[in-house]
A and B are shown apart, each in its own frame.
Chain A
Amino acid sequence: MKYLTVNGIKILFSNEKNILEIMKKKCIDIPTLCYHKELSVYGACRLCIVEVEGRGILPACSTLPENAMQIRTNTERIKEIRKIIIELMLANHDRECPTCAKSETCSLQILSRRFGIDEIRFRNVTNKKSKDSSTYSLIVDPSKCVLCGSCVRFCDEIQGIGVLDFMNRGAQSKICPGGNNMNLLSSGCVYCGQCIRVCPTGAIVPKSEVNYVWKALSNPNKKVIVAIAPAVRTAIGEVFGLSDKNGTKIAGKIVSALRYIGFTKIFDISFFADMTIVEEANEFMDRLEKMKNIPMFTSCCPAWVIFVEKYYPDFIPNISSCRSPQGMYGSVVKKIMPKILGVSKENLVVVSIVPCTAKKFEARRHELSKEGIADIDYVLTVHELVRMIEESGLDFRKIDISSFDMPCGFKTGAGIIFGTSGGVTEAVLRNIMNNNGKCDKDVIDANKFTRFDFVRGDEGLRKVKVNLNGKDLNIAIVHGLKNASKILESIKSNDNEKDKYSFVEVMACPGGCVGGAGQPIYKNLNVRNARTKMLYENDRIIKFHNPQDNLYVSKIYKDHFGNPGSKQACEYLHTRYKYAKKFKKVFEIYRPLNDDYVKINICFGNNCIQKGAKDILKHIVKFIENNNYENNIGISISICLEKCSKGPIVTVAEEVIEFCNFELAEKTIIKKLRDKIRG
Chain B
Amino acid sequence: MKSNITKFEMIYRILEDNSFDRSKLVPILQVVQKEYGYLPEEILDFIASSLDISYSKIYGVATFFTYFTLQPKGKHIIKICTGTACHVKKSTDIVNIIKNKLEIKNEEFSSKDNLFTIETVACLGTCGLAPVLIIDDNIQGKMTSDKAVNLVDAILKQERSK
Q: Which residues of A contact B (CB under 8 A)?
A: 156, 161-169, 176-180, 182, 187-188, 583, 585-593, 604-606, 614, 617-618, 621, 625, 630, 635, 637, 639-640
Contacts and interface: CB of A to CB of B under 8 A. Distances in A.
B8 interface: yes
The A interface, classified by DSSP as helix, strand, loop or mixed, is loop
A639 B63 contact: no
Contacts of B45: 583, 585, 587, 639
Contact of A156 (B1, B42, B52, B54): B54
Contact of A585 (B4, B41, B56): B41
B24 to A, nearest CB: 16
Given A167-B64, A583-B45, A617-B8, 4 more contacts: A168-B64, A178-B58, A178-B59, A180-B70
B56 A637 contact: no
Contact of B4 (A182, A588, A604): A588
29 contacts: A161-B54, A165-B56, A165-B59, A166-B60, A167-B56, A167-B60, A167-B63, A167-B64, A178-B55, A179-B41, A179-B56, A179-B59, A180-B41, A187-B56, A583-B45, A585-B45, A587-B4, A587-B46, A588-B4, A589-B5, A589-B8, A591-B1, A617-B5, A617-B8, A625-B3, A630-B3, A635-B3, A639-B50, A640-B49
Contacts of A591: 1
Contact of A178 (B42, B49, B52, B54): B54
B46 A637 contact: yes
A161 B41 CA distance: 20
Nearest to B52: A606
Contacts of B8: 587, 589, 617, 637
Given A583-B45, A604-B46, A590 B60 contact: no
B77 to A, nearest CB: 21
B64 to A, nearest CB: 5
A186 to B, nearest CB: 10
Contacts of B38: none
A162 B57 contact: yes
Contacts of A168: 63-64
A178 B60 contact: yes
Contacts of A161: 54
Contacts of B42: 585-588
A590 B57 CA distance: 28
- Of the four ranges (under 10, 10 to 19, 20 to 34, 35 or more), the interface on chain B belongs to 20 to 34
Contacts of A588: 4, 42
B151 interface: no
B88 interface: no
Interface string B83-107: 0000000000000000000000000
A167 B12 contact: no
A617 B64 CA distance: 34
Lowest 3 A-B CB distances belong to which pairs?
A: A178-B56, A162-B54, A178-B59
B38 to A, nearest CB: 13
A286 B57 CA distance: 43
Contacts of B4: 587-590
A583 B55 CA distance: 10
A573 B71 CA distance: 50
Contact of B5 (A163, A178, A179, A618): A618
A165 B57 contact: yes
A502 B3 CA distance: 48
Contact of A162 (B3, B50, B56, B64): B56
Given A162-B53, A178-B58, A169 B64 contact: yes
Interface string B16-57: 000000000000000000000000011101100110111111
